[in-house]
Amino acid sequence: MKNEDVFFAVDLGGTGTSVALVSRAGKVLERARFATRDFVVEARPELFAEEVARQIQSLLAHFDGAAPTHLGLGAPNGNYFTGEVLYASNLAWRGVVPLAALVAKATGKEVVLENDANSAALGEARFGAGRGVDNFVAVTLGTGVGSGIVAGGQVVRGVNGFGGELGHLTVAPGGRVCGCGGLGCLETYASVTALIRTVVSGVQNGSSGCGDFDAQALERDAESAGPIIASSARAGNPLALGAFQLAAESLGTAFAQVTTLLAPDRFILSGGMVAAEDLLMAPLKKRFAQSGARFHKPLPQIVLSKLGSGDAALLGAASLCFS
């Protein structure tokens, strides 16, 4: 394979970072993963860049083609225009990190950086449920709510690269306090963190039917909390069911606002929380149909991503380098 047909892709996540060799056809040829916290260390962003350089050398050892010249990088709070990661609250870095420049220096590659949610949307656009669809919104339901908007065939970056932030739409004026400083943001109701918040608050308030939850354990291990709450909901636990219902209805309210503004063809859902689609989809679609967007018949579809977990962001990061 020629080196202009293969690209390095990096998906920097809150827990793990994936590094991959990706073909222009959207195939992940090689991949590796490392724990983000080992190399994302306050005040030392070059550690991460150096680890990426090591990882791509390892990938090349198993690869039988010419080394790619370009690297696409998706990162939380990444800014396409500046190549920086800005005030990423889920990472140990503080302030502004010129990540594209650091990775370019460490690897010798041409680096294009984008935020993780837009990368995922680009991956869906090229290789997933957004292929051939000019207007869609890709929503990742995990620790937070990530989203990337494609309108008229283009990813919406806005004037400063921060367009597309569905997670901070207000769905409940005066509601829950959000990390962004706002009240009632979607992310505080419709993420795994939000599920935990609903359940822990119910336990602390002595809601009925919450006897089988260990609030401290849920907060300690967010990774397993989602599946635990989902299992309880499926077993009929009213507190867990209520947490999913609140999440689903908040998404429906937000999707109606987005539809009013952007009239997308579809919403594409991904992320750990969609494993509970059986709990989410019915109340989400019901609220969506009830909440505004009445001009839009048929309403936009709500579909699940069919790309492998985490692949959308990697494929999208690689596609940033496609000429």
Least distance to a second copy, CB of residue 131, Å: 15
Query: Toward a second copy, which CB reaches closer, 206 or 298?
Result: 298
C-alpha 251, offset from chain centre: 15
Least distance to a second copy, CB of residue 96, Å: 13
Query: Toward a second copy, which CB reaches closer, 64 or 295?
Result: 295
Query: Toward a second copy, which CB reaches closer, 201 or 301?
Result: 301
Least distance to a second copy, CB of residue 115, Å: 11
Least distance to a second copy, CB of residue 15, Å: 23
**Per-residue three-class SS string for the chain:** CCHHHEEEEEEECCCEEEEEEEECCCCEEEEEEEEHHHHCCCCCCHHHHHHHHHHHHHHHHCCCCCCCCEEEEEECCEECCCCEEECCCCCCCCCEECHHHHHHHHHCCEEEEEEHHHHHHHHHHHHCCCCCCCCEEEEEECCCEEEEEEECCEECCCCCCCCCCHHHCECCCCCCECCCCCECEHHHCCCHHHHHHHHHHHHHCCCCCCCCCCHHHHHHCHHHHHHHHHHHHHCCCHHHHHHHHHHHHHHHHHHHHHHHHHCCCEEEEECHHHHHHHHHHHHHHHHHHHCCCCCCCCCCEEEECCCCCCHHHHHHHHHCCCC
Query: Toward a second copy, which CB reaches closer, 8 or 189?
Result: 189
Task: Of 117, 112, 108, 100, give the one whose Cα is nearest residue 48.
Answer: 100
Least distance to a second copy, CB of residue 296, Å: 6
Note the residues at the interface with a second copy (CB under 8 A).
134-135, 149, 151-152, 154-166, 168-170, 172-173, 180-182, 185, 253, 256-258, 260-265, 291-296, 300
Query: Toward a second copy, which CB reaches closer, 229 or 293?
Result: 293
Least distance to a second copy, CB of residue 81, Å: 11
Least distance to a second copy, CB of residue 290, Å: 10
Q: What are phi and psi of 156, to 5 degrees?
A: -85, 110
Query: Toward a second copy, which CB reaches closer, 142 or 164?
Result: 164
Query: Toward a second copy, which CB reaches closer, 126 or 157?
Result: 157
